[in-house]
A and B are shown apart, each in its own frame.
Chain A
Amino acid sequence: MIQTALTLLRKDLRLFVRDRTALFFLLVLPIGLGAVMGTAMGGGMMGGGSKSRKIAIAIEDLDRTPQSQDLVEAVRGVSALRVEVMSDVRRLVADGDRAGGLVIPEGYGAALAAGDAPPDLVLYRDPAKQIASQVMVFQLSPVLFQQTAEGLGSRMMGRVTDLMDLPEASRGAVTRELVGSYLRVEDIMEGVEAAAAEAADTSAPVAPPVEDAGESEEEGTDIMEALPGLMGLQIEDLSPPRADGLPRSAGASHAFSAMAVMMLLFNLVAFAGTLLEERAEGTLDRLRLTPQAGRAVLLGKVMVTMLLAIVQLVLLFAFGALAFKVPVLEHLPALAAASLIWAFAASALGLLFATACRTRKQMEGLSTLVILVMSAVGGAWFPREILPEWFQTAGLVTPVAWAMDAFHGILWYGKGVLSTPDLGGVMVPLLVLGGGGAVMLAVAFRLYQRSFDSA
């Protein structure tokens, strides 16, 4: 029996090593994806990738004094942050263009110069980009501590006693106790610095969804959350309001956007592959032999793949709305436009794969690799802002990044197609997707004409 089993084993091994697609999935795909994921998560080839991984922070300097400039320069000196001095950072964060934005208010420099407590800095954060915004706070804390060290003791004690809402009589004793604890704050800050450095060098764990934040956190976290306030930093999470008053879920919005983007690609590429099946089975030739078919064959494929895409998107979003309260109805026209255009672009991409490959197996191998890589760099797996800068730029070449911007923009940020005074629109991603889809379809038609329809 063993001899027979060994004979069967030899046969299967022979068949396997001669199957290029199977070899591709066994050897090339995991290594390729591992390389992409490793680089995306900051490892980099040969362990040198962490240097390029910076979190962008927008700073709006309303004060424009030497002190505020010093603060900007100090933040610029933080290795894990990439500073962009801009205006209207609140809107940038609200639009999802930046994970966070720091506003230095007027009077900041004058107060420091006078030895007074400066007005609070304001850090706007995008709750959908938790990892980036948490890293941002970790990285900013040492800088703020240093910048506001002078007079920190008295201000900090005053704020703490305010926070505790103590009666006037008790404040003296509490303040003395707190002053005694002041030195321990330095220890805490050392811990903060170490945590910030760690967060910059390694992949930060994914935080719980926004609406759950606080419910499951341990008691000690409150101290950490209070710390920025003690240093004069107000943090405002710009969670977009919903018309129906329900809390928004960044996790659900991202998940359904990602599914709408990635799964649609897999399904449509698989369906477009029926073109190759039809060629292999001879039905494509039979179609070409009918007087009415001609290039309508490919047009028919485009139409049916689009139709299937729309059905899939409708079901997906309906389920998201019912089960996860994803705000589908909030901007229905925008969501419909995005779905239609993405269905078109994804169909075009599927047909591009089908017309560029010679066999279904070849198409499956190639499309799996390309779709997975596009999904990784395009932000369907994890937010793009935590990727290295060059990765984020590369992501813009993929339709996935633009589709994610469109769907996430609508479902999380509550954007419409057109910009409003308060919020940007998703017109640009939709135009890019539509244009890209048209180009891909034109190339697919050309390839079809050359490889399938050429007499």
Chain B
Amino acid sequence: MPGAGLSIFPAMQVDPTQRGASEAGAAGNAIEVRGLEKAFGDVEAGRGLDLVVRPGESLGLLGPNGAGKTTTLRILSTLLKADAGRVSVLGLDPAQDGAALRERIGVVPQDIALYQGLRAEENLAFFGELSGLRGARLRERVEWGLEAAGLTERRRSLVSEFSGGMKRRLNLVAALLHEPELVFLDEPTAGVDPQSRNHLFEQVEAIHRGGTTLVYTTHAMGEVERLCDRIMIMDRGRCLAEGSLEVLRDLEEVRAGLGSGLQLTSEADLEGAAALLREHGFDAEVRGASADLETIFLALTGRALRDESQEIPS
């Protein structure tokens, strides 16, 4: 099965020009990437990647280790330059208009990028100030951040004293202080307890409801199912498939990946099949089943373990 996932790339790729037709042209896209190439020595993190994200949309970016997710986010958020291809984020070129773009985007990094020796409110005030906030506006946003992170009571505690979940919550809101139009979230819930994860989801859902465009990478399929309007699965620097969960479930390769079975098209057929089996003496219980995102992911990217040494440098 692993080989099958790789062999279908060209056929699976969505034609960006077709996609663009339904997106009212390139000018209206929050993100538009064409033919992105990026290599680190022999490791190719971007191999002609195309990507479009519409304003207000929530895109889930999935892929195994070394797929190029983080590299793609770093290029889109001005931290890396692409080797080739055209990249437009909020109408700006990240490589040329970095400072202007950074005022409009927020990035929640995979690492807990906070100063452990500073208090919660000091961290927020520091990053808020560097994001251009001053005076009363800065104080207001710091208060918002503490409340959104559920840390108002612990505002004067050092970050080093926080649990993993508390740090993750603070890590999230620190990227949202300047109310960015577009937020990149790179595995923002890694290693947190269910309560904190739910809190984080609620915050992310709230900003998404407010119209903020999201690009969300994670290995937790359930998070993408809950949060994202559209999903893109990538591997080895290329897009394998993209669309809504329903669209992905319907891919031939995914259905084939479910193994041998009887495909029925309606609930009535399902009941009929159960009755037939019982008539022939089988103690049968028949339930409808559909592929979850993890099944889809494995069907597309394969089950072979990935060589960690090939991970792309950040």
Partner of B109, one of A282, A291, A454: A282
B99 at the interface (CB under 8 A from A): yes
Which residues from chain B contact A455 at a C-beta distance below 8 Å?
78-81, 94-95, 98
Partner of A291, one of B95, B111, B114, B131: B131
B155 at the interface (CB under 8 A from A): no
Tell me the nearest residue of chain B to A280, going by C-beta: B111
Count A-B contacts at CB 8 Å: 53
Interface residues of A in 288-307 (CB under 8 A from B): 288-294
Partner of B103, one of A283, A288, A291: A291
B90 at the interface (CB under 8 A from A): no
A168 at the interface (CB under 8 A from B): no
Which residues from chain A contact B77 at a C-beta distance below 8 Å?
289
Which residues from chain B contact A287 at a C-beta distance below 8 Å?
130
- Docked-complex contact B81 and A454, CB < 8 angstroms: yes
Partner of B131, one of A285, A290, A294: A290
- Docked-complex contact B130 and A290, CB < 8 angstroms: yes
Bound form: Cα–Cα A133–B161 in Å: 60
- Docked-complex contact A292 and B113, CB < 8 angstroms: no
A286 at the interface (CB under 8 A from B): yes
Partner of A289, one of B78, B95, B114, B115: B78
Report A348-382 CB contacts with B as 1/0, cut-off 8 Å. Answer: 00000000000000000000000000000000000
Bound form: Cα–Cα A6–B127 in Å: 50
- Docked-complex contact A292 and B130, CB < 8 angstroms: yes
Would A286 and B103 be within 8 Å (CB), given that A292-B131, A455-B79, A455-B80 are in contact? no
Which residues from chain B contact A283 at a C-beta distance below 8 Å?
113-115
Report A265-290 CB contacts with B as 1/0, cut-off 8 Å. Answer: 00000000000000001110111111
Tell me the nearest residue of chain B to A284, going by C-beta: B113
How many chain A residues touch B (CB < 8 A): the figure is 15
Bound form: Cα–Cα A209–B219 in Å: 69
Tell me the nearest residue of chain B to A283, going by C-beta: B113
Report B91-120 CB contacts with A as 1/0, cut-off 8 Å. Answer: 000110011101101010111111100000
Interface SS of B by simple majority: loop
- Docked-complex contact B127 and A291, CB < 8 angstroms: no
- Docked-complex contact A291 and B132, CB < 8 angstroms: yes
Closest Cβ–Cβ distance, residue A321 to chain B (whole Å)? 33
Closest Cβ–Cβ distance, residue B273 to chain A (whole Å)? 54
Bound form: Cα–Cα A454–B131 in Å: 20
Chain A CB within 10 Å, residue with most, of B100, B110, B113, B132: B113
Closest Cβ–Cβ distance, residue A6 to chain B (whole Å)? 31
Interface residues of B in 20-37 (CB under 8 A from A): none
- Docked-complex contact A285 and B109, CB < 8 angstroms: yes
Closest Cβ–Cβ distance, residue A303 to chain B (whole Å)? 15
Interface residues of B in 126-180 (CB under 8 A from A): 127, 129-132, 174
Partner of A294, one of B99, B105, B107: B99
Which residues from chain A contact B127 at a C-beta distance below 8 Å?
286, 290
Which residues from chain A contact B103 at a C-beta distance below 8 Å?
291
Tell me the nearest residue of chain A to B111, going by C-beta: A282
Bound form: Cα–Cα A292–B103 in Å: 9
Bound form: Cα–Cα A103–B149 in Å: 81
Which residues from chain A contact B102 at a C-beta distance below 8 Å?
289-291
Which residues from chain A contact B114 at a C-beta distance below 8 Å?
283
Which residues from chain B contact A291 at a C-beta distance below 8 Å?
99-100, 102-103, 130-132
Bound form: Cα–Cα A282–B78 in Å: 15
Which residues from chain A contact B109 at a C-beta distance below 8 Å?
282, 285-286
Which residues from chain A contact B131 at a C-beta distance below 8 Å?
290-292
Which residues from chain A contact B99 at a C-beta distance below 8 Å?
291, 294
Closest Cβ–Cβ distance, residue B131 to chain A (whole Å)? 5
Would A282 and B132 be within 8 Å (CB), given that A289-B107, A454-B81 are in contact? no
Tell me the nearest residue of chain A to B109, going by C-beta: A282
Tell me the nearest residue of chain B to A293, going by C-beta: B130
Bound form: Cα–Cα A288–B78 in Å: 9
Which residues from chain A contact B132 at a C-beta distance below 8 Å?
291-292
Bound form: Cα–Cα A450–B165 in Å: 35
Which residues from chain B contact A289 at a C-beta distance below 8 Å?
77-79, 102, 105, 107
Bound form: Cα–Cα A291–B104 in Å: 9
Closest Cβ–Cβ distance, residue A288 to chain B (whole Å)? 6
- Docked-complex contact A281 and B111, CB < 8 angstroms: yes
Bound form: Cα–Cα A282–B113 in Å: 5
Closest Cβ–Cβ distance, residue A262 to chain B (whole Å)? 27
Would A282 and B112 be within 8 Å (CB), given that A455-B78, A455-B80, A455-B95 are in contact? yes
Kindly list the 10 A-B residue pairs having the minimum CB-CB distance in the complex, ordered from nearest: A282-B111, A282-B113, A290-B130, A286-B113, A291-B102, A455-B81, A291-B103, A283-B113, A292-B130, A289-B107
6 contacts between A and B (CB under 8 A): A282-B113, A285-B79, A286-B107, A289-B105, A290-B127, A455-B79
Residues of B within 8 A of A (CB): 77-81, 94-95, 98-100, 102-103, 105, 107, 109-115, 127, 129-132, 174
Residues of A within 8 A of B (CB): 281-283, 285-294, 454-455
Using A283-B113, A286-B113 as known contacts, list a sample of 13 further A-B pairs with CB atoms less than 8 Å apart, ordered by residue number in A.
A282-B109, A286-B107, A289-B77, A290-B102, A290-B127, A291-B99, A291-B132, A292-B130, A294-B99, A455-B78, A455-B80, A455-B94, A455-B95
